[in-house]
Amino acid sequence: MYRVCFVCTGNICRSPMAEAVFRARVAEAGFDGLVGVSSAGTGSWHVGEGADPRTLAVLAAAGYPELDHAAQQFDAHSFARHDLVVALDEGHAAELRALARNPAEAAKVRLLRSYDPEADPADREVPDPYYGGPGGFDVCLDLVEAAMPGLLVAVRDALDLEGARE
């Protein structure tokens, strides 16, 4: 199984949103059972909490399945459980690379919007909607969805490579 973990700050807004969207894309592509999808935060203050109600509302309005979520924190040991660690902004990516215990773990870290061919290379962050209104969550969903086709191709390619080695 190829395991993908989305990481934001508290694991209640952006990363659970990305988890829900990617899980839906994985199912649509017929990769259930081949790809594991999870999310985590760089901080611990929301551990055990559900997703932000505004995240849940935006996902429901867009037709995504209900998200059963409990926030968790990404730590150095989490690298061993994931093949790809997808950061939602540059700060997360830097924190994750600093947690890595070796270059192979650091190489697992990618920015979500790096998979969006339309993203400005100078601005590949998904902004944190937490302190804003509902519109920020809509923007977040738009940016997350735009990156999913490219991410799905990358994961499919990784699965093909792993299959060729067996």
Q: Which one, of 127, 148, 36, lies nearest residue 81 by Cα?
A: 36
β-pairing, 84-87 vs 35-41, is unpaired
- E strands, 42-166, are 84-87, 109-111
Distance between CA atoms of 18 and 47, rounded to whole angstroms?
Answer: 18
Q: Length of the chain, please?
A: 166
**Sign of the Cα pseudo-torsion (146, 151, 154, 160, in order):** negative
**Catalytic residue check, 128:** yes
**Catalytic residue check, 101:** no
**SS3 state of residue 63:** coil
Catalytic hit among 97, 110, 128, 138:
128
**SS3 state of residue 116:** coil
User: How many C-beta atoms surround the C-beta of residue 152 within 10 A?
Assistant: 18
Catalytic hit among 5, 13, 14, 25:
14
**Catalytic residue check, 8:** yes
Residues classed as catalytic? 8, 14, 128
